[in-house]
Structure 1
Amino acid sequence: MIADLQQAVAHYAHALDELNVAELEAVLTEDTTWTFTMPGQGVLGPVAGRAAVLDFIRDGHTAQTGRVRHHLGNVVVTTTDAATAEVRAYLLQTRNTGESIQMISTGVYTFSLRRSDGRWRIAELTLTLDNAL
């Protein structure tokens, strides 16, 4: 089960970076919510519902420059039962412009996942960034 949960959050990160909408739809629940906390800027969100989250992601991709990657590390399953789980992971976000590589941000993700149709899906995502973007 732990490997399945780690795979779910890894699929999220890959789909996010590639703007793979089909995979994002598959890894997010219909009623998913996203909330972000940024130092000096407070709380953004929650962005509620899969359609709103996908619009948020598309807008983010349109605004970004270079190739952005979300590197998840120290992925730990903190609670779980047969139908729900919580996973925490560190974030290191980078950008490659082709001329330079830069670290954009670091932070901590908390994913609340729910088992649906035989697959773990992200029901709630909370990201607390260590620095303002």
Structure 2
Amino acid sequence: MSTKAVAGWGSTYLAAIDPGEVALDAGEQFAVRQALVRYAFALDQHDLAALEGVLTEDATWTFKIAGETDLGPVAGRVAILEFVRQAWDAETDQRRHNLVNVVFRSADSGRAVVHAYLLLTSNAGGGSGVIATGFFTFRLEHAGGEWRIADLFLGTDNAW
């Protein structure tokens, strides 16, 4: 596996999601963004309860690392939580999942499709730096008064 993807590799994944109408008011758009932020904070703080709270029961996670290696899908909230628990056991640093350039592709009162860039930083060995970049596609569902992540695709530009 190469350590980085070729330029533009993610465009095929991003283009496959046709844009649609964004029929959410500013308050609901903020609520969707808050769900994404809660996801990132849960990962960084190793907070399984918070992560559980932002996922649907039947959520799926799929990854493409450095544009080459497929991982997943990891299907179901229970399996995702176990997957994350194992990943945390292997970490020796403090990571920060920075979600930037968040854009709604489509949304209504029950569903939202959102893209965001990932800037993954690490603080280890007395220094900090970027360890990976990439992009997310999130599909969220609104139920019980909350937005939750139903599907997540992460494509990283490099392996780490």
Matched, 1:69 2:69: no
Name the amino acid aligned to 1:116. A
Matched, 1:29 2:81: no
Q: Number of matched residues?
A: 133
The gaps in structure 1 that reach 5 residues or longer are none
Would you say the 8 A contact 1:5–1:77 is kept in 2?
no
Distance (Å, rounded) in 1 between the aligned partners of 2:113 and 2:107: 6
1:42–1:15 distance in 2 versus 1, CA, 3 Å: same
Name the amino acid aligned to 2:61. W
Distance (Å, rounded) in 2 between the aligned partners of 1:125 and 1:113: 9
The structure whose Rg is larger is 2
Task: After the TM superposition, list the runs of 4 or more consecutive aligned residues in structure 1 that deviate by more than 3 angstroms.
Answer: none
1:10-49 → structure 2 map (5 Å cutoff): 10-39=37-66, 41-49=68-76
Structure in which a larger fraction of residues adopt strand: 1
1:4 corresponds to? 31
How far apart are residue 39 of structure 1 and its match? Answer: 2.1
Name the amino acid aligned to 1:55. E
2:23 corresponds to? none
The gaps in structure 2 that reach 5 residues or longer are 1-27
Percent of aligned positions with the same letter in both sequences?
A: 49
Q: Deviations over 1:36-74 (max 9, x none)?
A: 001264210000000000011111111011101101111
Q: What is the TM-score normalised by the length of structure 1?
A: 0.96
Q: Deviations over 1:71-125 (max 9, x none)?
A: 1111111100111101111100011025111211000011000011110000000
How far apart are residue 20 of structure 1 and its match? Answer: 1.1
Taking only aligned residues, the RMSD between alpha carbons, in angstroms, comes to 1.1
2:136 corresponds to? 109
